[in-house]
């Protein structure tokens, strides 16, 4: 049986098939060997330089060393804005397996807002290879521990220690210093990308923004070697960063605190200047806010509360608040009229307690008409008009001068223009004339509006800083300086820049100053009540500005008017009169009158002239 089966087999054919399969297998193996050799050659020879570079990138990377932001100190060297350590979570995209999933995990873990995630993607688009992009800032100990435990399961996540801004006297100095905030999308468009690599914050308002270029500094770089997990092994090369410059202010922290306490809960502002340099000794705006809220990104709830508040705490009233100056403008008008020979110190005006334009039946009342039933005296000269704030005298002076000449008289004192102080968002106020009304309101100027301007009402608006600057001109009898918050940057003096002087006869200055001295030291002066136990001579001027109009025959009744519609109180002053060392301007918003402002100024001047000498 076996032999017939063997006879049926085609051994020749089987051998041919096996040989063909063997040859095909050998050819396939040879081809694979050729491919392997070619690939090996390509990797080791042809693409050696490219892969060596990529290998070094995985092993050696460039890290940015962000600069340390410059500090801000007061005139005595006390730190007002400093840097403190904090932790930042960042992401290195090249080490992340699934970037979007990783971002989602971090967003949930740190409760990141939509804006924070958007900022991360914006910064990611501008990063360098293997550069860490921050996503969560300002971690506390609990958050740091939470991410550190799971760091091994979050490839691409790194935790860095960085310095961040802190304001130890936040509410007291927020309007002066301003604040830094996280770099936004708009900031990325405006800032130098190379200079701000590794930097998370930039100045937003105030001194922090005004001196951003000096405070920021320049970043450094270091080449570091890492292991396969991205952990640092050693630093190969390092170029240190350049720290930002420190700012020393004219401002005195103690005086700032006194001014803040004197203002109390009153909405308003206090500005104190050094008349010898124009340096800002104190600048308070109330209400204020905590600048630290903005550093790591303020919440929507907190920001909505600040923006929506009727008290407008974000408004820096000292440089942005624009108010009718009221009677504080009278000494300036008196000086202008003396310089133009429109009056002399002996010129008198009849004062029945009201003034009437020729051919007009309307009576423009003096404030004494309601209080005394008449005027200040049968006739009033310049000194008495300033001391007792006689409206009738300045109604007549305004009518005889005209609004255009009045504007020319007041302009040299810096009214109607920004002072040039080294901060942000300063407002210019309004110094009206016929051309201003025609261009802004498309209307003609009326004589009655000139009468109102003569006592600082109507369209005329000034900031507290402008009033302080004008008072500095009077204190120095014509010389003044551009107001400055910063005194020195390193060895460079910033402040003390002189303004154009006002040349005027000595007797003219003395005539106006004598009236301002009587405001405080004469029994009939409008601020006589603040002179109790005073040990120096102060020159001042009270002012009251209306918030709402009162009909001609109506009586101003403070108790019947809502608090926010009550008159503003103003006061300007300088002391000592013979050698002025401080100039003060105060606005008590809706305070009812100057009696709300003048005690605040007395407290500030006392602190500077008496308490600092005793210290």
CA 284/CA 268 separation, integer angstroms:
8
Closest CA to 272 of 462, 520, 467, 412: 467
Tokens for 423, please give them. Answer: 């901060």
What's the sign of the alpha-carbon dihedral 313, 315, 316, 317?
A: negative
The answer to whether the CB of 291 falls within 8 A of the CB of 298 is no
Which DSSP string corresponds to 493-550? E---PBPPP----HHHHHHHHHHHHHHHHSTTSTTGGG-TT--S--EEEEEEE-SS--
Q: In degrees to the nearest 10, what's the CA dihedral of 16, 21, 26, 31?
A: 130
Tokens for 498, please give them. Answer: 């002189």
The answer to whether the CB of 71 falls within 8 A of the CB of 180 is no
- Chain centroid offset of residue 170 CA: 13
Closest CA to 93 of 273, 230, 193: 230
The answer to whether the CB of 544 falls within 8 A of the CB of 391 is no
Tokens for 615, please give them. Answer: 């210290």
Helices (H), 98-155: 99-109, 114-124, 141-149
Tokens for 273, please give them. Answer: 């200047």
HEC secondary structure over 539-559:
EEEEEEECCCCCCCCCCCCHH
The answer to whether the CB of 461 falls within 8 A of the CB of 324 is yes
Tokens for 350, please give them. Answer: 């009849």
Beta bridge mates, 205: 179
285 catalytic residue (yes or no): no
Which helix (DSSP H) or strand (DSSP E) does residue 269 occupy?
strand 268-273
CA 299/CA 97 separation, integer angstroms:
31
Choice among 132, 285, 327, 598 that is catalytic: 327
Q: In the Cβ-directed half-sphere of 136, how many Cα atoms lie within 13 Å?
A: 22
Which DSSP string corresponds to 163-198? EEEE-TTHHHHHHHH-EEEE--HHHHHHS-TTTTTT
Phi/psi at 597 (nearest 5 deg)? Answer: -100, -40
Closest CA to 543 of 404, 386, 419, 412: 386
Task: Name the DSSP class of 246.
Answer: P
Q: What is the set of active-site residues? A: 327
């Amino acid at each position: 049986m076996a032999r017939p089966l063997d006879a049926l087999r085609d051994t020749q054919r089987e051998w041919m098939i096996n040989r063909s399969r063997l040859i095909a297998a050998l050819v396939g193996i040879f081809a694979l060997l050729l491919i392997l050799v070619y690939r090996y050659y390509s990797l080791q020879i042809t693409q050696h330089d490219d892969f060596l570079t990529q290998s070094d990138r995985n092993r050696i990377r460039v890290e940015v060393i962000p600069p340390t932001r410059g500090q801000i100190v007061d005139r005595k060297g006390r730190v007002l804005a400093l840097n403190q350590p904090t932790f930042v979570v960042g992401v290195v995209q090249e080490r992340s397996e699934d970037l979007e999933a990783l971002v989602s995990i971090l967003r949930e873990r740190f409760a990141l807002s939509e804006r924070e995630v958007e900022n991360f993607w914006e910064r990611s688009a501008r990063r360098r290879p293997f550069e860490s992009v921050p996503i969560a800032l300002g971690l506390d100990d609990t958050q740091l521990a939470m991410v550190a435990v799971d760091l091994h399961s979050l490839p691409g996540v790194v935790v860095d220690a960085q310095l961040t801004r802190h304001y130890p006297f936040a509410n007291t100095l927020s309007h002066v210093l301003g604040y830094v905030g996280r770099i936004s999308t708009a900031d990325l468009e405006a800032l130098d990308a190379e200079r701000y690599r590794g930097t998370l914050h930039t100045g937003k308002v105030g001194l922090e923004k005004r001196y951003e270029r000096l405070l920021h500094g320049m970043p450094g770089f270091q080449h570091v070697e890492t292991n396969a997990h991205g952990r640092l092994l050693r630093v190969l090369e390092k170029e240190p960063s350049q720290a930002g410059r420190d700012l020393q202010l004219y401002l005195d922290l103690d005086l700032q605190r006194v001014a803040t306490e004197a203002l109390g809960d009153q909405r308003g502002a206090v500005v104190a200047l050094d008349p010898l340099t124009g340096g800002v000794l104190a600048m308070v705006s109330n209400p204020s806010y905590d600048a630290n809220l903005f550093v790591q990104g303020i919440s929507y709830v907190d920001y909505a509360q600040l923006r929506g508040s009727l008290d407008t705490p974000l408004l820096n009233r000292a440089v942005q608040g624009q108010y009718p100056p009221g009677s504080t403008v009278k000494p300036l008008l008196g000086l202008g009229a003396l310089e133009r020979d429109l009056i002399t110190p002996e010129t008198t005006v009849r004062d029945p307690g009201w003034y009437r334009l020729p051919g007009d039946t309307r009576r423009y009342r003096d404030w004494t008409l309601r209080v005394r039933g008449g005027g200040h005296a049968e006739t009033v000269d310049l000194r008495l008009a300033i001391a007792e704030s006689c409206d009738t005298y300045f109604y007549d002076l305004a009518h005889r001068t005209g609004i255009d000449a009045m504007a020319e008289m007041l302009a040299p004192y810096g009214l109607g223009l920004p002072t040039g102080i080294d901060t942000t968002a300063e407002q210019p106020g309004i110094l009206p004339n016929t051309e201003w009304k025609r261009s802004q309101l498309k209307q003609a100027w009326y004589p009655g509006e000139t009468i109102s301007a003569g006592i600082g009402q109507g369209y005329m608006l000034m900031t507290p800083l402008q009033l302080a600057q004008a008072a500095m001109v009077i204190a120095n009898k014509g010389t003044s300086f551009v107001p400055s918050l910063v005194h020195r940057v390193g060895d460079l003096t910033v402040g003390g820049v002189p303004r154009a002087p006002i040349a005027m006869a000595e007797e003219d200055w003395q005539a106006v100053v004598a009236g301002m001295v009587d405001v405080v030291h004469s029994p009939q002066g409008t601020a006589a009540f603040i002179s109790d136990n005073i040990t120096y001579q102060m020159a001042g001027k009270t002012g009251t500005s209306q918030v709402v109009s009162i009909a001609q025959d109506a009586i101003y009744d403070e108790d019947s008017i809502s608090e926010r519609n009550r008159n503003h109180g103003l006061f300007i002053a300088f002391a000592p009169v013979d050698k002025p060392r401080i100039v003060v301007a105060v606005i008590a918003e809706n305070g009812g009158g100057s009696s709300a402002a003048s005690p605040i100024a007395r407290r500030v001047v006392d602190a500077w002239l008496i308490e600092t000498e005793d210290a």
